[in-house]
Structure 1
Amino acid sequence: MDTVLLLKAAIMGVVEGLTEFLPISSTGHLILAGALLGMDDDKAKVFDIAIQTGAIFAVILVYWQKIRQTLIALPTQPQARRFALNVLIGFLPAVVLGLLLGAAIKSHLFTPLVVASTFILGGFVILWAERRAPIATRVNSVDDMQPLDALKVGLAQCLAMVPGTSRSGATIIGGMLLGLSRKAATDYSFFLAMPTLIGAGVYSLYKERALLSMHDLPVFAVGLVFSFLSAWVCVRWLLRYISSHSFVPFAWYRIAFGCVVIATWLMGWVRWDGA
């Protein structure tokens, strides 16, 4: 096995793990990193989606106690059943719209202008959301969410199908604008990521299975491991960060990254039209 290829897989795994759960769009960062590392062919695109599973395992580990308690309580406690139902409700819009529009989005929206615009626009949305008059918090915990709250956040998640938007950004900021506390919105974003990203990874591997062989297993394994480790560190850090900080720094980072997209496109360094 090519040591350099394994090193590239490790770097891509770290990029995925560090960006998947921050409101800065993992897709945009993987496009840039893949272009710079020469991992931007069709197989690499499957790799990018597959290693999301490693990041999700990190979230499952961080939230394992809550997951375990919910599973044990499902047969007897209405609150546990409502929580599980809310995760399912939030997950379904992405499934439906992903199946209906996924191919069209990849064909028409993966352009430099769209990616840069969504990065920059998303940054200004975060700035607006953080600086506007505080919204009365209706939901302080994921256990307090109603099915309608879950549906609305699930619809917000669908915005992330547009490249550069950020799934975490759409769900966290969307949740906050809907009256969820910063902690509740972040927690629900993480729980919603579990079925969403695992489903996307499994579906992508099945759909593109003809591109893969056993020879690819070490590369995918390295990407998964490093995605897991970096995501575990990132998620734990983010949960501490949000207790006393806003998302404003991420907004300015998004705006700067949008400028990077434009610069790398104009210089011909990165193809932003086929991720």
Structure 2
Amino acid sequence: MNNLLEAILLGFIEGLTEFLPISSTGHLLIAENWLGRRSDLFNITIQAGAILAVTLVYRARLWHLATHLRERESRDYVIKLGCAFLITAVLGLTVKALGAELPETVAPIALALIIGGIAILLIERHVHRLPPRESVTWAVVVAVGVAQVVAGVFPGTSRSAAAIFAAMLAGLSARPRAAEFAFLVGIPVMFAASGHELLSTYFEPGAMQAEPWMELGVAFVVAAITGFVAVKWLLRYVSGHSFVPFAWYRILLGLLLLAVT
């Protein structure tokens, strides 16, 4: 397959799966097994494309927060977003320095998909009995920050799924509000990860010249467009439905991956 078409396909997969609780890493790995592995910079940058999409979806909310910082509610929300990001950043850098990450191979990703699917079923069963709570407490902040790091350690977990369900378990039981907080925290997290990888590539001899920048740029745009559509759809979906179908999809995909390896 033409390299540019491959980049478009990978961007589409990333944009579609980044915010659905089904693991973009797992789906990219499956695709790259047939299309060939891409650099860490490529994979992280197209994730940033998907994050750009969520920035556009929440542009009105972000603008409101930025222009109403004198209001206690907005200021409190922004502070909590910042603290969740700092928890993720500090723990994430510590984990990276220690090398405490599982390899991005099929078996651990398949197991993470299955375990995550079972966890979603259990959490949904628990949350179903609770009244919808929309308050972002400090317990939610810590849970979301830690969950994103855990998702990074265990490929196939899904960053968005880990953050959303950690928030729900910590008391933010209203699904749309849990998704919003998880997605907004993901904006600085993924942009920071992309910036860090870009700097690492810049200082690595020959890495900048070896990177297919046109393919990366096209995949970035495709991921942004697809991600925008996926997030808009997901937010409408979770306003009246549970995440249970995604759980069964994860379990079936994980079992299929284990069967073919």
Same fold (TM over 0.5): yes
* Structure 1 unaligned spans of 5+: 267-275
By how many angstroms is 1:110 displaced? 3.4
C-alpha distance after superposition, 1:84-141 (max 9, x if no partner): 11111111222122211125234x443443222111000001111122363534732x
Match of 1:206 in 2: 199
1:178 pairs with one of 167, 170, 177 = 170
By how many angstroms is 1:231 displaced? 0.2
8 Å Cα contact 2:140/2:166 also seen in 1: no
Alpha-carbon distance in structure 1 between the residues aligned to 2:209 and 2:62: 34
8 Å Cα contact 1:85/1:147 also seen in 2: no
C-alpha distance after superposition, 1:156-197 (max 9, x if no partner): 222211111111111111111222111111111110110111
Alpha-carbon distance in structure 1 between the residues aligned to 2:177 and 2:84: 14
1:89 aligns with 2:73: no
Match of 1:270 in 2: none
Alpha-carbon distance in structure 2 between the residues aligned to 1:259 and 1:196: 30
* Structure 2 unaligned spans of 5+: none
Percent identity over the alignment is 38
Alpha-carbon distance in structure 2 between the residues aligned to 1:235 and 1:117: 26
Match of 1:251 in 2: 247
Cα 1:224–1:111 shift into 2, 3 Å: closer
Match of 2:141 in 1: 150
Alpha-carbon distance in structure 2 between the residues aligned to 1:174 and 1:167: 11
Q: Report the AA paired with residue 198 of structure 1.
A: F
By how many angstroms is 1:22 displaced? 0.7
8 Å Cα contact 2:42/2:216 also seen in 1: yes
Match of 2:189 in 1: 196
1:117 aligns with 2:117: no
Q: Which moved more, 1:227-236 or 1:200-209?
A: 200-209
RMSD of aligned alpha carbons: 1.9
8 Å Cα contact 2:51/2:187 also seen in 1: yes
Q: Report the AA paired with residue 21 of structure 1.
A: F
> What SS does the aligned partner of 2:128 have?
coil
> What SS does the aligned partner of 2:21 have?
coil
8 Å Cα contact 1:89/1:147 also seen in 2: no
The aligned length equals 255
8 Å Cα contact 1:120/1:255 also seen in 2: yes
Cα 1:133–1:30 shift into 2, 3 Å: closer
